[in-house]
Structure 1
Amino acid sequence: MFFIDTIELTGLGNRHYLAGGPRTAVAVDPPRDIDQVLAAAARRGVRITHVMETHLHNDYVTGGLELARVTGAAYLVPAGAHVSFARVPVADGDAVTVDSGLELRAVATPGHTPHHLSYVLRERERPVAVFTGGALLIGTVGRPDLVEPRLTERLARAQYASAHRLAAELPDATSVLPTHGFGSFCSSAETEGDTTTIGKEKATNAVLTRDVDSFVAGLLAGLDDVPAYYAHMGPANAAGPAPVDLTPPAVADAGEIAARLAAGEWVVDLRGRIAFAEGHVAGSFNFEADGKLATYLAWLIPWGKPVTLLAESPEQLASAQRELVRVGIDRPAAAATGKPERWVAEGASLASFPRSTFAGLAERGTDGVVVLDVRRDSERAGGHIAGSVHIPVHEVRQRLGEVPAGTVWVHCAGGARAAIAASLLDAAGRDVVAVDDGFDAAADAGLTVVTG
């Protein structure tokens, strides 16, 4: 008998796995906060004997090296990956015993990276699952454009060949267990569904239903912007990440918060967007702890810039710290918890701005205001409000000068990114209204939506 436990990190849109038998197990693509993996192993009563990476990750800092050190497990990394630490190099066809009658066999699946491997879990030589990392995902494949622009088309074609190899070599009933594809920007497209098999992918996935040229053309045409922090993840993983420190940061009082803002540091309010709009420290930015905090904060903040976190509770602060270490933002410069009134000097006022909906915008009318669309290019191509200005959220702070004069009604697809952008505009002294609404409501409200 075997088991496979899934460790889901919804904030980054990734999954990680612990798989094994009655006594021993392997960890596949573990996150940096390894305590979750250790807890899963403890619940199963198994010893982790191997830690395996499908590739050097571009979207998060791995916990593989530290997990192997703590457990004494062998650390298996693709032989083609250039790293600065001792590891067990793995190549196509290599196999390791997981437990009695259970083994993992490496299959070369280049495409997401040149050195990418998938691992087939075999029970008494029968394939039962394949850990596909960033190769074959649910309904799509991993992006081929994260390594080197000149390699993108070549890697896209390799991705096609890798998917077809898996489909040809594995039974239809084999479970496909990818690392990416649940909201991660390492996925080349949005995924649908929660589980899949080789047979399902053969019937529905474009990489397995289209010819190579049309697949590659469609894949390349659909690629969107790459989060800026990705440039730092690969090198960090190749160098060997340090252990994490999740102890609470130093407490900042109102005076220190003001001083850090004056020094040009980032002060990030983790509360929900409704609470932030109602009252916040002037100059602070709103990245909701319950949203894609790590992705968007790491994408927007100048790399290495000190950040002070403001949270409504110690629990919210601790959760945010955990999210941020996964993308290499290791230690907040300082933090404060509680009510926003405690974060400003006595007698000082909190800043605020209004929120509305697309119906509110339609009632107000678009004449005399700026409608700012902060969605990605691919989203805007599917339809946008006539006359709106388009600046993706990750470019807003650098392009503030391009936002026309006037009150700015800022929107995205659902409200979360609009809240980030509204806080950036508010901090820059602009009059702003955050549209907290789903974009489908724009046309229903009577606003003119055009495509192209």
Structure 2
Amino acid sequence: MMEILGFRTPGLGDQSYLLVHQGRGVLVDPQRDIDRFLRAAAERDVELRFVLETHLHNDYVSGAEQAARRTGAELVMPAAAAPAYRHTPAFHLEDIDGGDGLTLRPLHTPGHTPEHTSYLVLVEDEPVAVFSGGSLLVASAGRPDLLGPERAPALARLHYGSLRRLAALPPQVGLYPTHGEGSFCTVSQADRHTSTIGRELRSNPLLAIEDADRLAGELLADPMPIPAFYRHMGPANTFGVPPMPAVTPPELSLDAVPPEAHVVDVRPRTVQAAGFLPGSVGIEDGDDFGSWAGWLVPYQAPIVLVAGPDQEVAEPVTQLARIGVDSVRGVVRDLGPAATATFELLDLDAFAARAARPGAQVLDVRMPSELKDARLPGAAERFLPDLLTEGVPAELDPGRPVLVACGSGRRAAIAATILADHGYTPAVLDGAGIPDLVSTRSGR
């Protein structure tokens, strides 16, 4: 009997898989922290036979090479990927014998990347599942623009044939994509994590488009921003990634922080608001900590974390390592009197009352695609990462408080620490967002 285990990484919106069949395992698109996958295999007394990669990932560094080295499994990569380490190239429709009636059939499915390859799983010659990586996703498809705007139109058109190829599989075949909800590798926000070919034929809007140029237009019509760290992922996965670093950084006193280090405060935003280190960026620990830190801190710059006295930091360090950032130098747990920067946290009613005052300054830090759903008249708009690359909107007066909002308060709190570093006095809408504020105003 075949079993497929999913390993969700919510902050990156990705899922790795372990296929188990007759005591043998196939690991698909593993992230760098491979111990969780190998532990699951050991618990089931499974011999890892293959490690499959669907493409050279753009959103995380892979653990595939290290997993194969640790276990002796055969590393299978798309033939056109040609990474600079030992692997078995997967060619279109050249079956891989998994033993005991298991067959892995590579399907060249370019579009998300040129080399992208999906893997059809057959048991006793019957197709039962397909690992579609970043090609056909649940209610969506992988982005074709991550390799640059020059290549995006051609890759978007290639997507048409790839999606059709997968859609032609039997409807009962299970669909197991790597990218999903929360990933910046999707064209739109996919919902569920897995599906079937039949369900996607009924509900995926992209499969209803019957022309390659029309599909390309749809895929490229409203691109989401590309996180800054993405450009480093492809080269890392091409040339190889070292094993995971230790996730327990040394404890540092504040005066031992290297002068070149970027200080990242991972404490809850309620604690940050009461006092944080001037010049630090506050990104409270959460599922997407690594993505925001990788976006806002220069890649591989030395990092020192600020955490609470009893706060675990293994998770934020792990999230950084998943994107290849191994530069955490230590953790500070006592800021003492140096925590002189502050910001306010306001609930919806208090924020709405302040925003309604004459001359109030509101800053919306949501991404451009979110502005279509709700927009606050008179608010300055600057997507959070653009505060660092483009600066604070010129119309905001540092001599008056700035009311900052996003969709929930998480990004607004990060923005507040950046604004404070630029001499502004921020107040954050906490536990609500611009859509709630718009609804509140329209209801009055």
Fold-level match, TM-score > 0.5? yes
1:343 to 323, 335, 343: 335
**Residues 283-319 of structure 1: per-residue CA shift (max 9 Å, x gap):** 2211121141111110111122211012226663011
Go from structure 1 to structure 2 and tell me whether the alpha carbon gap of 1:84 and 1:313 turns closer, same or farther (over 3 Å shift). farther
- Equivalent in the alignment of 2:422: 428
CA contact (8 A) 2:31 2:63 kept: yes
Is the 8 Å Cα contact of residues 308 and 335 (structure 1) preserved in structure 2?
yes
Change (3 A) 1:343 1:165: same
Residue 373 (structure 2) aligned to one of 371, 375, 382? 382
Question: What SS class does the counterpart of residue 256 from structure 2 fall into?
Answer: helix
Identity of aligned residues (%): 37
In the alignment, structure 1 residue 361 sits paired with structure 2 residue 355: no
Match of 1:195 in 2: 194
Give the deviation of 1:83 after TM superposition.
1.6
Give CA deviations for 1:161-209 in whole Å, capped at 9, x if unaligned: 11111111x1101110000012110011001234311001111112211
Tell me how far 1:359 sits from its aligned partner: 2.7
Cα deviation digits, residues 55-108 of structure 1 (max 9, x gap): 000000000011111111111111101321121111101222334111211111
Query: Which residue of the partner structure matches residue 209 of structure 1?
Result: 208
Cα distance in 1 between the residues matched to 2:77 and 2:288: 28
> Does structure 1 residue 391 correspond to structure 2 residue 382?
yes
User: Aligned partners of 2:419, 2:247: CA distance in 1, in Å?
Assistant: 33
- The answer (yes or no) to whether the contact 1:385–1:448 under 8 Å persists in 2 is no
Alpha carbons of 1:99 and 1:20: their partners in 2 closer, same or farther (altered >3 Å)? farther
2:306 match: 310
- Structure 1 position 349, deviation (Å): 5.0
Aligned equivalents of 2:286, 2:247: Cα separation in 1: 20
Aligned to 1:242: 242
Is 1:321 aligned to residue 328 of structure 2? Answer: no
Q: Deviations for 1:395-420, whole angstroms, at most 9, x for unmatched residues?
A: 11233353421311111111111111
Q: Give the CA deviation at 1:143.
A: 0.1
1:289 maps to: 285
Distance 1:164 1:429 in 2: 54
CA 1:314–1:361: 2 relative to 1, 3 Å: closer
Aligned match of 1:66: 66
**Aligned letter for 1:360?**
A
The alignment status of 1:275 with 2:271, answered yes or no, reads yes
* Cα pair distance change 1:266/1:99, threshold 3 Å: same
Deviation at 1:219, TM superposition (A): 1.5
- CA RMSD, Structure 1 to Structure 2 (Å): 1.8
SS in 2 for 1:3: strand
**Segment of structure 1 superposing worse, 97-106 or 64-73:** 97-106
For residues 428 and 91 of structure 2, the distance between their equivalents in structure 1, rounded to whole angstroms, comes to 51
Aligned to 2:141, what secondary structure does the other structure show? coil
> Which residue in the other structure is 1:333 paired with?
329
Q: Distance in 2 between matches of 1:220 and 1:63?
A: 30
| Runs of at least 5 residues in structure 2 that lack an aligned partner in the other structure | none
Superposed, which structure 2 residues align to 1:45-194 within 5 Å?
Answer: 45-168=45-168, 170-194=169-193
SS of match in other structure, 1:103: strand
Q: TM-score, normalised by structure 1?
A: 0.93
Aligned to 1:10: 10
Hey, what's the Cα distance between the residues in 1 that align with 2:14 and 2:192? 14
User: What is the CA distance between 1:424 and its match in structure 2?
Assistant: 1.0
Distance 1:428 1:240, change over 3 A: same
Name the CA distance, whole Å, in 2 between partners of 1:99 and 1:416.
49
**Pair 401,185 (structure 1): closer, same or farther in 2 beyond 3 Å:** closer
CA change 1:28–1:349 in 2 (3 A) is closer
Alpha-carbon distance between aligned partners in 2 of 1:35 and 1:13, rounded to the nearest angstrom = 19
Pick closer, same or farther for the CA change 1:320–1:247 going to 2, 3 Å.
closer
Take 1:19 and 1:349, find their aligned partners in 2: how far apart are those partners? 49
Q: For 1:34 and 1:312, how far apart are their aligned partners in 2?
A: 28
**Structure 2 SS opposite 1:80:** helix
* Offset, 1:382: 2.4
What CA deviation, in whole Å up to 9, does each residue of 1:107-150 have, x standing for no partner?
11000001100001111111111000000000000000012322
Q: Which segment drifts farther, 269-278 or 4-13? A: 269-278
Per-residue CA shift, 1:13-37, capped at 9, x if unaligned? Answer: 1000010213211110001011011
Query: Is contact 1:83–1:238 with CA below 8 Å preserved after alignment?
Result: yes
In the alignment, residue 286 of structure 1 is paired with which amino acid?
G
Q: Which amino acid aligns with 2:269?
A: R
Give the Cα–Cα distance (whole angstroms) in 2 for the partners of residues 272 and 138 of structure 1: 33
